[in-house]
Chains A and B, each alone.
Chain A
Amino acid sequence: MSALLAQPFLEVKGVKKKYGNVEALKGVDFSVYTGEVLAIVGDNGAGKSTIIKILSGAIFPDSGEIIIAGKKYQRLKPREAITAGVSTVYQDLALVNTLDISDNIFLGREHLKHGLTLDKKRMYQESTELLQQLGIKIPFVHTEVGYLSGGQRQGVAVARVVHQGGRLLIFDEPTAAMGINETRAVLKLIKSLAENGFGVIVISHNMEQVFDISDRICVMRQGEIVGHVKTDEVDPQDVVAMITGAEVMNETRNNRGSE
């Protein structure tokens, strides 16, 4: 818990974003520390994707600021986000299926010999080491990514982000369309990332998963953060109630009482 006492790695302060007349974010504040998993939950249209896009630099907020490792950004650009250590793990978007694992991990950051030719041997070796460090089990770094399972692909995507210097990793529905074993492997990976000192943000609809892996939960509704809780201090029903709205929560409680 000592990590929680330190300065947060990422702070989001008063971030607002409008699309035309629609207020996607109405002033959002939260922070993430290294060594913890923060889950952001909320219904469709709550503003989760918007906040992720702002954190990855894909869009700029109308107002508010983002502080990464003590440095303030009003308009965070993609390259700045990555350099500062904030990276979104895209499973499908970011991998080239026809290249092998090592090629993918080093994509855009290749080691060169004499600044001219690819230093493949070094990259294969470092890839193997990196995957081992992260506890990602892939038999053979020469395998084309297209042959891998969903969980393994997620592992490669994570390895690449970590290799690029990622300290805070954002996962958007990391287990969508995955089988049970795959899902288990990915959740284990996310937990071990936090244990290894990385900060993690997970966007998920799956309450069971959220309660399995997260340390804290941010609940978003209609562009606002309506709840900010420690995972072990609440139960899933309370969180679901916050997602759907306070009145509904009272209703369900009443209904439950009357039954």
Chain B
Amino acid sequence: MSIRIKMQRLFPQLLLTGVLLLLIVILSVTSEYFLSWENFRNILDQSSVHILLAIGMTFVIASGGIDLSVGNLAALSGVVMAVAMKQGIDIFPAVLMGYSAALVVGLINGLVVSYIKINPFITTLASMSIARGLALILTGGVSIYGFSTTFKFWGTGSIGPINPPIMLSLIFVILGIFLLANTLWGKYSLALGGNGEALRYTGVNVNLYRISIYCFSAVCAATAGLIMTARLNAAAPLAGATYEMDAIAAVVLGGASMKGGKASIVGTFIACLTLGVIRNGLTMMAVPTYYQQVITGVIILAAIIISELRSREA
């Protein structure tokens, strides 16, 4: 009985892993270029921004919230870093300023959601707009480009077999796994979404935890912003648009419940890889990008329907 319950709980992740393996087999057979370290590294590299945003989103969704601002926050923090560096500020303080800008917005998200109790969808919809507007104001609407080699390293350098974007995203995956499974913060994130009243009833300061979750999501977004800016050697005020949707899709595909209380970092990570493999595979099969979007959407919908129907049986 206990094993059955465990299997039931892990079903979304197992299903997803199955889909991922199937895709890998199909693509390996159809394309001679697919199954190589270079291509796998490429998929990881291209998924790194999505992984970072999705890790933060996993905690937000676990707590019963949603954070629509992450894509635009990534753009804003990248822009702040770029503007600061163009003003002659050193890399480290400039990057720190980018993170601070994102943190301020994350803090406001958390404060409004927890103290004024405004629906997180509405709150982050507003801050999403504010972040985009600020990014446009700071740049006058045009991209800022041309940074030092040290800064570009964070997007294009290499560290042994991998590169800094892959390293950063893997660090956040491992950190996320650890936080969710082994700390009070992770447990309370799940408890907030499962039954926030019950948690409050035990005397835990639920607002503090909720605010910190939105701040964590903002830190993930700023890290994504750093990678995006360094990789392109340009801070584009319109970068990262709709990335929040990819993050939400990955979190739900990974087995999280949109109602909160249930989430898996490993699931989110596998989901990001699966979406990355799909994009990569479709490109290799020379499917035009417009069609790719439709196919990706259909796959997400199908996977979520299967796992939802399955969980209703229980």
Question: Interface of A with B (CB < 8 Å)?
Answer: 78-79, 82, 90, 93-99, 103, 107-110, 112, 116-118, 120, 139-140, 142-144, 147
11 contacts between A and B (CB under 8 A): A78-B203, A94-B198, A95-B198, A96-B199, A98-B190, A108-B204, A110-B184, A118-B184, A118-B187, A142-B5, A143-B5
A113 to B248, CA, bound (A): 33
Contacts of A78 in B (CB 8 A): 201, 203
Say whether A103 contacts B187, CB under 8 Å: yes
Task: Encode contact with A along B240-257: 1 for CB under 8 Å, 0 otherwise.
Answer: 000000000000000001
Query: Digit string of B183-223 for contact with A (CB within 8 Å is 1, else 0)?
Result: 11001001101110111011110000000000000000000
Chain A residue contacts of B9, Cβ below 8 A: 144
Contacts of A144 in B (CB 8 A): 5, 9
CB < 8 Å neighbour of B197 from A93, A108, A110: A93
Per the bound structure, the CA–CA distance linking A108 and B187 in Å amounts to: 10
Determine how close the nearest CB of chain B comes to the CB of A215; give it in whole angstroms: 29
Minimum C-beta distance from B190 to chain A (A):
6
Beta-carbon contact of B194 and A110 below 8 Å: no
Report the minimum CB–CB distance from B69 to chain A (whole Å): 26
Interface, chain B (partner A; CB < 8 A): 1-2, 5-6, 9, 182-184, 187, 190-191, 193-195, 197-199, 201-204, 257, 261-262, 314
Q: Which residues of B contact A108 (CB under 8 A)?
A: 199, 202-204
> Across chains A and B, which 7 residue pairs bring their CB atoms closest together, nearest first?
A108-B202, A98-B261, A96-B194, A98-B194, A96-B195, A117-B182, A140-B2
Q: Are B183 and A116 in contact (CB under 8 A)?
A: yes
Of all chain B residues, the one with the shortest Cβ separation from A97 is B194
Whole-angstrom CA separation of A23 from B204 in the bound complex:
34
Flag if B1 contacts A99 (CB, 8 Å): no
Which of A107, A120, A140, A143 contacts B202 (CB under 8 A)? A107
Which label, helix, strand, loop or mixed, suits the secondary structure of the B interface? helix
14 new A-B contacts, CB < 8 A, other than A79-B203, A109-B202, are A78-B201, A93-B198, A94-B198, A95-B198, A96-B198, A96-B199, A97-B194, A97-B195, A98-B190, A98-B193, A99-B187, A99-B194, A118-B183, A139-B1
8 Å CB contact of B201 from A94, A97, A109? A94
Q: A112 touching B184 by the CB < 8 A rule? A: yes
CA distance A96 to B9 in the complex (A): 16
Identity of the chain B residue whose Cβ is nearest the Cβ of A79 in the assembled complex:
B203
With both beta carbons as reference points, the residue of chain A lying nearest to B191 in the complex is identified as A96
Residues of A within 8 A of B5 (CB): 140, 142-144, 147
Shortest Cβ distance from B9 into A: residue:
A144
Q: Please measure, in the bound complex, the distance between the C-alpha atom of A116 and the C-alpha atom of B194, giving whole angstroms.
A: 23
Which B residues are CB-close (under 8 A) to A93?
Answer: 195, 197-198, 201
Which residues of the other chain, B, contact A82 by a CB distance below 8 angstroms? 203
**Pairwise interchain contact B191-A107, C-beta atoms closer than 8 A:** yes
State whether B187 touches A95 (Cβ < 8 A).
no
Docked-complex contact A96 and B190, CB < 8 angstroms: yes
Bound state CA distance, A95 and B197, in angstroms?
9
Contact B182 A118 (CB under 8 A): yes
By beta carbon, the residue of chain A nearest B181 is A118
Q: Residue of A at shortest CB range from B195?
A: A96
Find chain A residues with CB under 8 A from B183 CB: 116-118
Q: Which residues of B contact A117 (CB under 8 A)?
A: 182-183
Min CB distance B58 to A, Å, is: 14
